[in-house]
Chain A
């Protein structure tokens, strides 16, 4: 009798790289429609203000806003602090020039230092939070001046890591990138034509000189996104380890995720009645 060949299934049934791949043109079309619908139709705003850091998230957001609303309706706001990297400013300018959007540059140094002079011992984390909150003061004030809506730029990875300042970076009322992992934002950026120098540089919050996200987090975005993907799907640590990921990296991601749930919620309110808002009295944001 002749022997039959056995055809085995792929050895890596969970190819995270493949699973995190996006159809960038389709995502771009979807997010453009999202911005038009949520800004113009639901909220009646025809203009957007975007804080441009020179990084990939805010660049992609500006590109999407220009697509959705027209470059003439988008304001890119650069808000450097005295320790910010000059490169950040230049990269933000590349986006402004390429898109032909309006721009403003507001140096937040006097405002930030005006407060910090009373707290000279504030460490880097506190200083960073003050800068992030000051930038939101500027963004929201300019939005009132321009009758424009501030558009958020936070991606899913940093939201899951709690790697942002609460009620600062996360405060704009709408956010097109919040359900895209960082590595997916990079894919979208390349499709949209964001300058390569912005896409390929190491991501940085630029709150402390020389800082990079990946050093801060202790893991590369590439790896973090894959682990997050499986954790969110509901896989246990040992299952993810079995797929070939180092246990200490999986635990690092899991701990970060599980210690920051509070950052993804509104403030906790004491419930005293059966009409408590968002517990019993439930109405959606656009109702």
Chain B
């Protein structure tokens, strides 16, 4: 099976959800009208509002139904015959709490067939230095893998993948394609490129290679209050190689064809996931011991 993926990086207008959904739809229109090969189109974290909102999360948050509805209304006038899947990040209102979330949607030319397939709520909320997420949003509690038209997938958001265990859990649950959305403010200007671009490349390549999975990453661009989001969205193959990368800080669209059959080739050459599966029971016992010890120490 081959999946034609597209990752988009654009500069959202701060706090203006309607405008940003217009912009998402405009890009989908371009993809449909120009017949760009695309099964799944991926947009960055918090693309509906911009990232640094502080208390503005309360005004910019939407339910995932509102996001689906808003996008569907905009998409229907130019909808193509075959369905189009969209992954995008937004501040979410869910069951009376706010989250930094990502929705995986399927858009269709029949409204009743448009649906939210999955919503991931960011598990690791950065709250240090320039980041303040725990002040303004609640933490998600799951690393989920869900079936799509193109096999089993997972969606992860930014710091979720700075902990290798998160990707490991998704791989063990059977995800073969990882949609990783991000908003990463640039810092570190002594190397060849911006420090965190280098770090992201390492993270995504290691993740893809260790588990033999495809990674599609959409990363925000634009400055917010002096903090510039790096962009450099990437598609990484199961051998841990960057297939295509978008430029730094500029708006761009990248596309690639993901060949799911390469997963088996990569895993046969580097069978780390199988090794992990065979050692999982022992690792679990180790983890339980660590957790129990931490619990004892903290209660002492």
Which residues of A does B touch, CB under 8 Å?
A: 19, 21-23, 26-27, 29-30, 33-34, 37-38, 41-42, 174, 281-287
A228 to B18, CA, bound (A): 45
- 10 tightest A-B contacts by CB? A37-B223, A282-B54, A282-B55, A285-B225, A287-B56, A27-B189, A284-B52, A33-B249, A22-B189, A286-B225
Given contacts A30-B228, A37-B223, A37-B228, contact A286 B14 (CB under 8 A): yes
A221 to B264, CA, bound (A): 57
Given contacts A19-B190, A22-B189, A37-B11, contact A283 B226 (CB under 8 A): no
A19 to B192, CA, bound (A): 14
- Chain A residues with CB under 8 A of B223: 33-34, 37-38, 42
Q: Are B192 and A23 in contact (CB under 8 A)?
A: yes
Task: Give min CB distance, B30 to chain A, whole Å.
Answer: 20
- Chain A residues with CB under 8 A of B39: none
A31 to B2, CA, bound (A): 40
Q: Are B56 and A30 in contact (CB under 8 A)?
A: no
Q: Are A174 and B226 in contact (CB under 8 A)?
A: yes
Closest-by-CB residue of B relative to A35 is B223
A282 to B57, CA, bound (A): 10
Which one of A30, A38, A283 contacts B189 once the chains associate, using CB atoms below 8 Å?
A30
* Interface range for B: 20 to 34
- Chain A residues with CB under 8 A of B53: 283-284, 287
- Chain B residues with CB under 8 A of A23: 189-192
A265 to B110, CA, bound (A): 55
Q: Are B190 and A34 in contact (CB under 8 A)?
A: no
Task: Give min CB distance, B158 to chain A, whole Å.
Answer: 18
| Given A282-B54, A285-B225, A287-B15, 4 extra CB contacts under 8 A | A21-B190, A33-B250, A37-B228, A38-B226
Task: Give min CB distance, B257 to chain A, whole Å.
Answer: 31
- Chain B residues with CB under 8 A of A284: 14, 52-54, 56, 224-225
The yes or no answer to B193 lying at the interface (CB within 8 A) is: yes
Closest-by-CB residue of A relative to B51 is A284
The yes or no answer to B186 lying at the interface (CB within 8 A) is: yes
27 contacts between A and B (CB under 8 A): A21-B190, A22-B190, A23-B189, A23-B191, A27-B189, A30-B189, A30-B228, A30-B249, A33-B249, A34-B223, A34-B228, A37-B222, A37-B223, A37-B228, A42-B14, A174-B226, A282-B55, A283-B54, A283-B55, A283-B56, A284-B14, A284-B53, A284-B54, A284-B56, A285-B225, A286-B224, A286-B225
